[in-house]
Amino acid sequence: MIVEIVTTGSELLLGQIVNTNAAYMSSRLNDLGFDVLYQTTVGDNHDRMKAVLEHALSRADIVITSGGLGPTQGDITKEVSAEIFGRKMKVHEESKRRMEEKFIQRHVTWTENNMRQVILPEGAEVFLNYNGIASGVVLENNGKYLINLPGPPSEMKDMFERSLKPFLKRKFGFKHVIVSKVLNTMGLGESLLETKIKDLILAQSNPTLALLIRPAGVIIRITAKADTREQAEILIEEMEAKIRERVGKYIYSIDDEKMEQVVAKLLKDNCLKVACAESCTGGMLSQRLTSIPGSSAYLDGSVVTYSNDIKMKFLCVDENLLKSKGAVCAEVAGQMAEGIMQLMEANLGIGITGIAGPTGGSKEKPVGLVYIAVAGKYGTKVTENYFSGERDQIRYRATQQALSMLRHYIMEHDKL
Amino acid sequence: MIVEIVTTGSELLLGQIVNTNAAYMSSRLNDLGFDVLYQTTVGDNHDRMKAVLEHALSRADIVITSGGLGPTQGDITKEVSAEIFGRKMKVHEESKRRMEEKFIQRHVTWTENNMRQVILPEGAEVFLNYNGIASGVVLENNGKYLINLPGPPSEMKDMFERSLKPFLKRKFGFKHVIVSKVLNTMGLGESLLETKIKDLILAQSNPTLALLIRPAGVIIRITAKADTREQAEILIEEMEAKIRERVGKYIYSIDDEKMEQVVAKLLKDNCLKVACAESCTGGMLSQRLTSIPGSSAYLDGSVVTYSNDIKMKFLCVDENLLKSKGAVCAEVAGQMAEGIMQLMEANLGIGITGIAGPTGGSKEKPVGLVYIAVAGKYGTKVTENYFSGERDQIRYRATQQALSMLRHYIMEHDKL
């Protein structure tokens, strides 16, 4: 069954609010095995809304709207929908009774325009609103469904789960389910990653593969369609195994798990303490490491060392080195990592020094050049990185790379 | 001119990401006086995308897409657009040259599929990408415009402001303008703020007033419509003056200016250096202070002091105090602020200690309790704060309050 989601409301067209309803409904409908092929947003204008809904009904089997069920003159979705299906509007007694009860409960003063919320298309299946007043409706006409849900997310979501989902199950059963799994990768660019699994992407049918760029790296999304979740998961496992054969070492987590969570777990499991000496990232790495509850288990302290004096004073970075090569070089990063490890008496130390921009770059040392070092019992590892983007993107990518290096350092060495 | 925004990408139809691009473009286009009447989302499917774009061109004068300009097989927006306008695709030399430069600069391995990003429709006006590689294009055919922008928000926004806006101005001028101004407030709750300016909100017509809650505080948005920007700005000025009479001291910045930018400017203008000692915020405050270019002018260094040992060792926090009252109390915050000020030889010191949660709270010291101190020549000021929300919200609110206290400390004292 093809579904189109039509969200209504001028605030969406004015860009005053972000359309979270479309994302929520799409995500849930896909989980239930429906294909959402279109999302359309139109304002509270009779002619345009009517044209949009009629066009939607011409290319989809099920059209689900959100918004425009309220008491004001601008709320016209129900009326337009009824018009398209040639239905009269009449008071829905149960909705009316429940509304009146609510007004009494809440000691809210009654205004006549509230009646608009309980005047519904004749012969419609009604979804009562347990989070508000405006009822939802389902209109059906030779196999096409037009479903009106309220706009406020809390009301829409409650009605979706409580009434729409059971309705869809009753009408269509759920022939199949769609399950997705995301593999988060770090260390390979999008195009390089694609070349390594291109044949899998081109040969894809079920499961399907998609590569998406995220600030934290490139993600591989595997999406499988099957009769049961179990079968879908088996399909995903088979594909995941093939992908891991090619690029396994670059996959650091699954689905929503962040790099800092992965690293935090590694540190805890190995009873390790880490300390950071941050120059261009200015505390962002420590902030990410401490964003995990219980981070005091693996981090006692860190320093932000912006000036050379502080680098020398706290981290014992060699003054002559700073004079000869400048603060942004591999050796300084290494000394920062070793210095902070000793200063905080930690098992591992991280040093970051670079040019976050937008100014301060040169031909030899361009904006985005960042040296990152990880120091530990097995020596100090330094990388030279060229990150693109704006100041904060460069800073974020530097912390992501630092966490990735920390992860590899811990995984590759025993008994740190 | 009627505009339709067409966002492409399966991840939108799967509900895996929220469509912030549509909101951003709509908001900006409305500011420029264009009527965005439709927003449509379609997947990376040739036939459906072509049908959607053709339908969009039939009801709108300007169709702006985002997404599908990348290097992978799924990126087809340019090709479909060219097909609709009957244009051949050919290598765009300047885009190619810039891409090759970037690859050399960043030492990234080249793969052939990157070429897809610089093969553009013949005769198209090209928007170069200053935040990435894929160029944007404008196709025109008897008065209808089809404009392709990249999908990643940072690239889309940069191209919108840098290239699309000037293009639209050149082509259409801007008839009436809608100008908005945002007053960022901190220190008053939404309802309290509303009561202080309620009469202004109720009496509003042009300009209009809106109160919106943001993580950084409550914002007041003033929106005026006029023939010229100058006239709109006069309307806004009059309203702003009335608002400032009531709540001026709570307004810390205008529009997109962040609290850290305000504080950075104050520090620079007064030639002051600040140093932070962060416990529960774990580096977030230093990270925000150093997110401003040139932050080395006012910050030499900071420390993250999670453990009590580190608090004693670096900040000379009194051991008996830590034993008797614990790390989360006003006195410890004060000693942390004074300690870091001396350690870093700064003019101002900030100390933050609290319980970010989700665990570690008690009846006397609940999750969200954070003590924040600012130390300087004129003594140490400490506040006791109870922040709501999740761990990272609590941490963020603590840094926002710390910056606000720093701002007031600097403004209220001369010659620090």
Count the neighbouring beta carbons within 10 Å of the beta carbon of residue B270: 16
CA atoms within 13 A of residue A239's CA, in its CB half-sphere: 29
Distance from the first to the final alpha carbon of chain A: 55
Q: Are A31 and B35 in contact (CB under 8 A)?
A: no
Chain A residues whose CB is inside 8 A of the B294 CB are 359
d(CA A410, CA B67): 38
What are the tens digits of pLDDT across the range B13-63? 999 889 999 999 999 998 888 999 999 999 999 999 999 999 999 999 999
Q: Are B255 and B240 in contact (CB under 8 A)?
A: no
> How is domain B177-254 classified at the CATH fold level?
Alpha-Beta Plaits (3.30.70)
Chain A residues whose CB is inside 8 A of the B14 CB are 26-27, 30, 36, 180, 223
d(CA A163, CA A152): 16
User: Would you state the pLDDT for residue A279?
Assistant: 97
Q: How confident is the model at residue A80 (pLDDT cuts 50, 70, 90)?
A: very high
Tens-level pLDDT at each residue, chain B (416 residues): 899 999 999 889 999 889 999 999 999 998 888 999 999 999 999 999 999 999 999 999 999 999 999 998 889 999 999 999 999 999 999 999 999 888 888 777 778 888 999 999 999 999 999 988 999 999 999 899 999 999 999 999 999 999 999 999 899 887 677 888 999 999 887 777 888 888 888 887 889 888 877 788 888 989 898 888 899 999 999 999 999 999 998 999 999 899 999 999 999 999 999 999 999 999 999 999 999 999 999 999 999 999 999 999 999 999 999 999 999 999 999 999 999 999 999 999 999 999 999 998 998 999 999 999 999 999 999 999 998 888 998 999 999 999 999 999 999 987 77
- Residues of chain A within CATH 3.40.980.10 domain(s) are 2-172
Chain A residues whose CB is inside 8 A of the B285 CB are 283
**Distance (Å) from the C-alpha of residue A217 to the closest C-alpha of chain B?**
13
What are the tens digits of pLDDT across the range A121-172? 999 999 999 988 899 999 999 899 999 999 988 899 999 999 999 999 899 8
d(CA A386, CA A367): 8
Residue A187, CA distances (Å) to A206, A222, A250, B109, B279 in order: 27, 19, 6, 12, 32
Q: Are B278 and B284 in contact (CB under 8 A)?
A: yes
> How is domain B259-412 classified at the CATH fold level?
Maf protein (3.90.950)
User: Would you state the pLDDT for residue A317?
Assistant: 97
Chain A residues whose CB is inside 8 A of the B108 CB are 189, 386
- Residues of chain A within CATH 3.90.950.20 domain(s) are 259-412
Give the orientation angle of helix B190-202 with respect to helix B229-247, to 10 degrees. Answer: 130
Chain A residues whose CB is inside 8 A of the B283 CB are 276, 278, 283-287, 290, 302, 304
Q: Which of B286, B359, B392 sits opposite A304 (nearest CB)?
A: B286
Q: Which CATH class is domain A2-172?
A: alpha beta
Kindly report whether the global pTM for this prediction surpasses the value 0.90. no
Q: Which of B23, B59, B154 sits opposite A393 (nearest CB)?
A: B154
R_g over Cα of chain A: 28
Q: How confident is the model at residue A16 (pLDDT cuts 50, 70, 90)?
A: confident
Chain A residues whose CB is inside 8 A of the B296 CB are 306-307
Which tokens in the block code for residue A166? 């059971």
- Residues of chain A within CATH 3.30.70.2860 domain(s) are 177-254
User: Would you state the pLDDT for residue A108?
Assistant: 64
d(CA B99, CA A300): 44
d(CA B261, CA B270): 14
Q: At a CB cut-off of 8 Å and minimum separation 6, what does A27 contact?
A: B14, B15, B16
**Distance (Å) from the C-alpha of residue B44 to the closest C-alpha of chain A?**
10
- In three-state form (DSSP H/G/I as H, E/B as E, the rest C), the secondary structure along chain A is CEEEEEEECHHHHCCCCCEHHHHHHHHHHHHCCCEEEEEEEECCCHHHHHHHHHHHHHHCCEEEEECCCCCCCCCCHHHHHHHHCCCCEEECHHHHHHHHHHHHHHCCCCCHHHHHHHEEECCCEEECCCCCCCCEEEEEECCEEEEEECCCHHHHHHHHHHHHHHHHHHHHCCCCEEEEEEEEECCCCHHHHHHHHHHHHHCCCCCEEEEEEECCEEEEEEEEEECCHHHHHHHHHHHHHHHHHHHHHHEEEECCCCHHHHHHHHHHHCCCCEEEEECCCCCHHHHHHCCCCCHHHCCCEEEEECCHHHHHHHHCCCHHHHHHHCCCCHHHHHHHHHHHHHHCCCCEEEEEEECCCCCCCCCCCCCCEEEEEEEECCEEEEEEEECCCCHHHHHHHHHHHHHHHHHHHHHHCCCC
Q: Touching check for A223 and chain B: CB below 8 Å? A: yes
R_g over Cα of chain B: 26
Q: Given an 8 Å threshold on Cβ–Cβ distance, is A25 in contact with B15?
A: yes
CA triplet B324, B327, B330: central angle to 5 degrees? 90
Closest CA to B156 of B29, B335, B14, B286: B29
Q: Are B247 and B271 in contact (CB under 8 A)?
A: no
Q: At a CB cut-off of 8 Å and minimum separation 6, what does B159 contact?
A: B127, B129, B130, B131, B136, B149, B150
B contact test, residue of A6, A19, A279, A394 with most B CBs within 10 A = A19
User: Would you state the pLDDT for residue B142?
Assistant: 84
Q: Are B251 and B233 in contact (CB under 8 A)?
A: no
d(CA B242, CA A407): 56
**Distance (Å) from the C-alpha of residue A52 to the closest C-alpha of chain B?**
9
A contact test, residue of B54, B302, B352, B355 with most A CBs within 10 A = B302
Q: What is the mean pLDDT of chain A?
A: 93
Q: Are A75 and A15 in contact (CB under 8 A)?
A: no
- Span of A296-310, A367-381, B224-238 with lowest mean pLDDT: B224-238
Q: Are B349 and B330 in contact (CB under 8 A)?
A: no
Look at A58 and A111; give whichever has higher pLDDT: A58
Q: Touching check for A390 and chain B: CB below 8 Å? A: yes
d(CA A284, CA A7): 38
**Distance (Å) from the C-alpha of residue A63 to the closest C-alpha of chain B?**
14
- In three-state form (DSSP H/G/I as H, E/B as E, the rest C), the secondary structure along chain B is CEEEEEEECHHHHCCCCCEHHHHHHHHHHHHCCCEEEEEEEECCCHHHHHHHHHHHHHHCCEEEEECCCCCCCCCCHHHHHHHHCCCCEEECHHHHHHHHHHHHHHCCCCCHHHHHHHEEECCCEEECCCCCCCCEEEEEECCEEEEEECCCHHHHHHHHHHHHHHHHHHHHCCCCEEEEEEEEECCCCHHHHHHHHHHHHHCCCCCEEEEEEECCEEEEEEEEEECCHHHHHHHHHHHHHHHHHHHHHHEEEECCCCHHHHHHHHHHHCCCCEEEEECCCCCHHHHHHCCCCCHHHCCCEEEEECCHHHHHHHHCCCHHHHHHHCCCCHHHHHHHHHHHHHHCCCCEEEEEEECCCCCCCCCCCCCCEEEEEEEECCEEEEEEEECCCCHHHHHHHHHHHHHHHHHHHHHHCCCC
User: Would you state the pLDDT for residue A173?
Assistant: 82
Q: Touching check for B261 and chain A: CB below 8 Å? A: no
Closest CA to A51 of A40, A62, A61: A40
Q: Touching check for A286 and chain B: CB below 8 Å? A: yes
